């Protein structure tokens, strides 16, 4: 693939800002995304460089852009693709620097993601190579027939992959999930940690282009084996069929899962129907259970894919997911199966039978996301693993914000409703955090954390009621009194330390606190009134 080919793709909508014909005719060897000011040491010759221009600001001198482009030139980069989102346009100083150093410059509009460009380059590279005579590269007829039979029999993905490449000498080959989970690998392929697998996704072949970012699988061939790209595409298509079969089984199991979550959402579910619903979903009738709720703001299928992918990092655990009537997707997760071998170095049982996923680890880091380690079967351990997985989940699609909440362990089915209420509360707290994350109700150990789980309208109403006239902070006098109150409470009601912190006389502090008490109707000599006003300040 050449640089000029990118400009011909209407789906990318790239614009040429500068580039002479010989530069546009350069062949692309790969893609690197960076926002380092001097990225040269991380680049390979022939790569195109994607940059959001976060490293540049309007106050920067021309030398800043010059250093960046010079680093690209020294590394032999084929072109620079600069995003317009950060600054609204590509700065002219960058255009001039590219012209001086002979680097083709293309602008990337806001509606085109860097991921789309990366996928286009690698998929097109496979396609370019596969345009040779088809007869020389298709899977042998006997291999296609065997794979079709194995698919019909519902074989596991590891066996399917091994048979697909057996005629090639069984080279090291993997099928990986979007978060670096090993779904299958050949016997000659070494076990990969999640972090190692994640790094290989950029050069892997997508199995199902129609899948959501969280439900995507990738085919990755390593080693020195020379395999025709057309053959790799055919193997990828086999796994696309396998994945579609898994999705059909999941869809068939959604009715029992929805029924279970509807019962869990009821305040006083009857014991017998709840036990029957658990059995229908393939879950044990005894705890412990963990309830997890996720919200991404995307369509139902994508949200379910995201939650399911995260939960499949829990070896030996069974779970079901379903959409909640009030929005969001919830999962009921059982403890690790007794006797399950979390050390098993086998393929992940990614197929879902009757809507229940039972996951076996595939590598030393398989269960732990970014190195969180394998869970010991306890609900608390499972939540710790999910927290480790969350950054990888976030990296799947930077356009969405996955937030999650987890309730306290439910010892019995009767406790599931309380765990769901807690999970929803923790989800609200997660939304108020600095970035997308999973928050457990056990994390809410401070007054501020506890209040963060309240709905925004409840927080606002409480703050207005408790602070009275002081809630109107557009009044400069009220802002001054609120500052004094906050400092007074932060210093445990010490007049002297408050005066010192605010550089005031102690008498002034006494006067201001008196005004606060008068306007709010609270007595700051009382602990309960201090807590009321502290909570009101946190709710602002």
**b (16+ CB within 10 A) / e for 155-187:** ebbbebbbbbbeebebbbbbbbbbbbbbbbbbe
Last residue of a domain, one of 87, 111, 129: 129
Asked, for residue 418, whether it belongs to a domain, the answer is yes
**Whether residues 403 and 475 fall in one domain:** no
Write out the two tokens for 536. 């009101």
Asked, for residue 299, whether it belongs to a domain, the answer is yes
- What 3-state class would DSSP assign to 82? strand
Asked, for residue 264, whether it belongs to a domain, the answer is yes
What per-residue confidence (pLDDT) applies to 341?
A: 41
- CB of 174 within 8 A of CB of 220? yes
- CB of 190 within 8 A of CB of 171? no
CA 535 to chain centre: 32
Asked, for residue 372, whether it belongs to a domain, the answer is yes
**Whether residues 395 and 285 fall in one domain:** yes
**Whether residues 530 and 385 fall in one domain:** no
> Closest Cα to residue 206, out of 215, 194, 218?
218
Asked, for residue 495, whether it belongs to a domain, the answer is yes
What per-residue confidence (pLDDT) applies to 358?
A: 39
What per-residue confidence (pLDDT) applies to 357?
A: 43
Write out the two tokens for 189. 């392929």
Helices marked H in 228-317: 229-252, 254-265, 271-280, 300-311
CA distance 295 to 421: 15
Asked, for residue 268, whether it belongs to a domain, the answer is yes
Kindly report the CATH number assigned to the domain that includes residue 317: 3.30.70
Enter the pTM of the model: 0.61
User: Count of domains in the chain?
Assistant: 4
> Closest Cα to residue 48, out of 23, 68, 30, 74?
30
CA distance 64 to 41: 17
Last residue of a domain, one of 206, 231, 251: 251
CA distance 275 to 266: 14
Kindly report the CATH number assigned to the domain that includes residue 467: 1.10.10.2840
What per-residue confidence (pLDDT) applies to 136?
A: 42
Kindly report the CATH number assigned to the domain that includes residue 119: 3.40.1390.20
Last residue of a domain, one of 228, 251, 274: 251
**Whether residues 435 and 350 fall in one domain:** yes
**Whether residues 311 and 357 fall in one domain:** yes
What per-residue confidence (pLDDT) applies to 330?
A: 93
φ, ψ of residue 347 in degrees (nearest 5): -70, 150
372: CB partners within 8 A, 6+ apart: 384, 385, 387, 388, 389
Backbone dihedral region of 104: left (phi > 0), alpha (psi from -120 to 50 degrees) or beta?
beta
**Whether residues 389 and 285 fall in one domain:** yes
Beta strands 182-185 and 47-51, pairing class: unpaired
CA distance 179 to 195: 9
- CB of 320 within 8 A of CB of 312? no
23: CB partners within 8 A, 6+ apart: 3, 78, 79, 102, 103, 104
**Whether residues 332 and 365 fall in one domain:** yes
**Whether residues 360 and 442 fall in one domain:** yes
CA distance 85 to 71: 23
Kindly report the CATH number assigned to the domain that includes residue 197: 3.30.450
**Whether residues 111 and 192 fall in one domain:** no
User: Tens digit of pLDDT per residue, the chain (540 long)?
Assistant: 889 989 988 889 999 999 999 999 998 888 888 888 888 877 888 989 999 998 888 887 788 999 999 999 999 999 999 999 889 999 999 999 999 999 999 999 998 888 788 877 766 654 444 444 444 446 788 888 888 888 888 889 999 999 999 988 888 999 999 999 999 999 999 999 998 998 888 888 888 877 888 989 999 988 666 677 778 888 888 898 888 888 877 777 788 888 999 999 887 778 888 889 899 888 998 889 999 999 887 777 888 889 999 999 998 889 999 988 878 899 999 987 644 443 333 333 333 333 344 333 333 333 334 344 445 556 568 888 999 889 888 888 877 788 999 999 999 999 999 999 999 988 888 888 777 889 888 888 888 778 777 887 888 888 888 888 888 888 888 989 999 999 999 998 899 999 999 999 999 989 999 998 899 999 998 998 888 888 888 888
Structural domain that includes position 496:
456-538
What per-residue confidence (pLDDT) applies to 326?
A: 77
Asked, for residue 359, whether it belongs to a domain, the answer is yes
**Whether residues 223 and 257 fall in one domain:** no
Write out the two tokens for 338. 């007794």
Asked, for residue 451, whether it belongs to a domain, the answer is no
CA distance 149 to 153: 6
**Whether residues 244 and 224 fall in one domain:** yes
Query: Given the structure tokens 């909508």, which residue do they identify?
Result: 13
**Whether residues 99 and 159 fall in one domain:** no
Torsion of the alpha carbons at 263, 266, 267 and 270, rounded to the nearest 10: -40
């Amino acid at each position: 693939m050449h640089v000029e080919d990118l400009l011909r793709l209407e789906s990318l909508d790239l614009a040429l800002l500068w580039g002479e014909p010989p530069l546009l005719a350069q062949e692309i060897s790969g893609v690197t995304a960076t926002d380092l000011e001097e990225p040269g040491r991380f680049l390979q010759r022939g790569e195109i460089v994607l940059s959001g221009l976060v490293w540049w600001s309007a106050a920067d001198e021309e030398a800043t852009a010059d250093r960046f482009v010079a680093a690209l030139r020294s590394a032999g980069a084929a072109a620079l693709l600069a995003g317009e989102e950060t600054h609204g346009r590509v700065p002219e100083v960058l255009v001039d620097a590219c012209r001086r150093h002979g680097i083709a410059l293309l602008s990337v509009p806001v509606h085109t993601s860097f991921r789309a460009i990366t996928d286009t380059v690698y998929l097109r590279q496979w396609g370019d190579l596969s345009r040779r005579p088809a007869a020389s590269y298709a899977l042998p007829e006997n291999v296609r027939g065997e794979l079709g039979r194995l698919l019909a029999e519902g074989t596991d993905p590891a066996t399917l992959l091994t048979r697909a490449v057996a005629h090639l000498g069984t080279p090291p080959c993997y099928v990986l999930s979007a978060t670096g989970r090993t779904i299958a690998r050949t016997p000659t392929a070494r076990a990969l940690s999640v972090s190692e697998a994640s790094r290989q996704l950029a050069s892997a072949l997508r199995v199902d282009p129609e899948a959501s970012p969280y439900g995507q699988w990738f085919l990755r061939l390593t080693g020195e084996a020379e395999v025709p790209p057309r053959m790799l595409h055919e193997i990828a298509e086999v796994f696309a069929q396998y994945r579609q079969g898994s999705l059909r089984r999941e869809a068939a199991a959604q009715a029992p899962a929805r029924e279970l979550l509807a019962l869990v959402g009821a305040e006083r579910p009857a014991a017998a129907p709840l036990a029957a619903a658990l059995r229908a979903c393939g879950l044990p009738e005894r705890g412990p259970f963990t309830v997890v709720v996720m919200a991404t703001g995307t369509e139902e299928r994508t949200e379910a894919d995201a939650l399911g992918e995260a939960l499949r990092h829990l070896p030996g655990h069974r779970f079901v997911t379903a959409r909640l009537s009030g929005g969001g997707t919830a999962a009921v997760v059982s403890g690790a199966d007794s006797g399950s071998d979390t050390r098993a170095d086998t393929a992940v049982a990614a197929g879902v039978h009757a809507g229940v996923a039972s996951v076996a680890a595939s590598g030393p880091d398989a269960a732990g996301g970014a190195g969180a380690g394998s869970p010991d079967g306890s609900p608390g351990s499972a939540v710790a693993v999910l927290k480790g997985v969350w950054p990888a989940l976030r990296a799947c699609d930077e356009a969405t914000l996955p937030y999650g909440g987890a309730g306290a362990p439910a010892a019995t089915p009767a406790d599931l409703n309380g765990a769901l209420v807690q999970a929803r509360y923790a989800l609200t707290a997660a939304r108020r955090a600095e970035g997308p994350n999973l928050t457990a109700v056990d994390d809410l150990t401070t007054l501020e954390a506890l209040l963060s789980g309240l709905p925004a309208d409840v927080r606002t109403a409480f703050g207005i009621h408790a602070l009275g006239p002081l809630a109107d902070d557009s009044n400069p006098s009220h802002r001054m009194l609120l500052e004094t109150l906050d400092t007074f409470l932060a210093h445990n009601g010490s007049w002297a330390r408050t005066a010192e912190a605010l550089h005031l006389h102690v008498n002034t502090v006494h006067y201001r606190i008196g005004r606060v008490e008068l306007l709010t109707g609270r007595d700051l000599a009382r602990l309960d009134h201090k807590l009321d006003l502290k909570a009101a300040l946190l709710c602002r």
